[in-house]
Amino acid sequence: MTSLQRVLTTLGQKEPDRVPFFLLLTMHGAKELGLSIKEYFSKPETVVEGQLRMRKKYRHDCIYNFFYAPVEVEAWGGEVIYYEDGPPNSGAPFIRKFDDIKKLAPPRVGDTLCLVKVLKAHEIMKAKVGDEVPIIGVVMSPFSLPVMQMGFDKYIQLMYERPELFEHLMKMNEEFCVEWANAQLNAGATAICYFDPVSSTTIIPREMYFKTGYEIAKRTISRIKGPTAIHMASGRCLPIIDDLAKTGTAMIGVSVLEDLCEIKAACKGRLTVFGNLNGIEMRRWTPEQTEAVVKTALAKAGPGGGFILADNHGEIPCQVPDHVLTAISEAVHRWGIYPLSWTKDRQV
């Protein structure tokens, strides 16, 4: 099977030849090419080359065309801070007081250089890999983007205390998100990863999610012209799985804070689960630990399909050494072959 066939089979809640796995690497490509993180993300060609080399090295099942989270903030006029040893981060929020929201206008994707660069990378990748492997595009959900637009603290206050401005911001963010997602699909992305950590019950209670993030996800995802995966970026989601299943998404990215067996059972074949290796802890795993962790995840969520092994955050830190990534790959290639007979006698 090709990687795309493998992923599509598991999305259909059937067992492919082996458990698919996504190494969601954003910065390791820079190291591989001997570039600083800033240089690496300055050209679409280098990101494409980095992704292709990562896939060749680790034999995983996706191309991850995610530059960095604040690329969208940059598009809205915000500041991006680059580091040598970590992902680019958003600078001081550009919405400084609530009333600033009234003056905002969403950027147009085609006119925004940093976004056009990402689209160009999609085009080059698609030309190189065709339909052999899924290319994952990324958007921040309209509901989660404000964390970078205005800061977590102000945004929480906005949600609770300024409903009219909250709605106004969501309307603009939704328009931008839909245009941005569809532009990536048009440029070659196979699916869109919809990062929505604020919807996680780690951040807001379910009652609040049901009135806000849920409705926004339903509206936004229905207008995205391709498959989507909602990613909780390490946040919990077990109490809202039934709601997530109704948003129209095909997959959910889940946290190591929750048990994969429980998550898989709650999804009841309606959603494909991806996760939930601990990316923070991963940087100090030994090969033996890595194999054990991978085996546990495969045993808990692999049987029956509907599962893709990945990290739990949607971005593997650059501090994770190559030997750990190699050990993950080797463990999946050794233990992830269906029908996973070895899991039958195993207590999970």
* Residues near other proteins, by CB under 8 A: 83, 85-87, 89-93, 147, 151-153, 156-157, 159-160, 201-205, 208, 234, 236, 238, 256-258, 278-281, 283-284, 317, 319
Cβ at position 163, least distance to other proteins in Å: 13
Dump the DSSP string for 179-200: HHHHHHHHHT-SEEEEE-GGGS
Nearer residue to other proteins within complex by CB, 82 or 338: 82
- β-pairing, 80-81 vs 89-90, is antiparallel
Cβ at position 317, least distance to other proteins in Å: 5
Structure tokens at 80: 């991006």
Best CA proximity match to 212, nearest among 240, 177, 182? 240
Structure tokens at 322: 């190559």
Cβ(237)–Cβ(244) below 8 Å:
yes
Nearer residue to other proteins within complex by CB, 279 or 303: 279
Structure tokens at 137: 């595009």
Nearer residue to other proteins within complex by CB, 152 or 342: 152
Largest CA distance in the chain: 61
Nearer residue to other proteins within complex by CB, 124 or 138: 138
177-216: b or e for each residue (b if 16 or more CB lie within 10 Å)? bbbbbbbbbebbbbbbbbbbbbbbbbbbeeebbeebbbeb
Cβ at position 278, least distance to other proteins in Å: 6
Cβ at position 120, least distance to other proteins in Å: 27
Nearer residue to other proteins within complex by CB, 127 or 292: 292
Cβ at position 148, least distance to other proteins in Å: 9
Cβ at position 65, least distance to other proteins in Å: 22
Nearer residue to other proteins within complex by CB, 23 or 181: 23
The single-letter code of the amino acid at 268 is K
Cβ at position 161, least distance to other proteins in Å: 9
Best CA proximity match to 173, nearest among 147, 138, 211, 141? 141
Nearer residue to other proteins within complex by CB, 128 or 236: 236
229: enclosing H helix or E strand:
strand 228-231
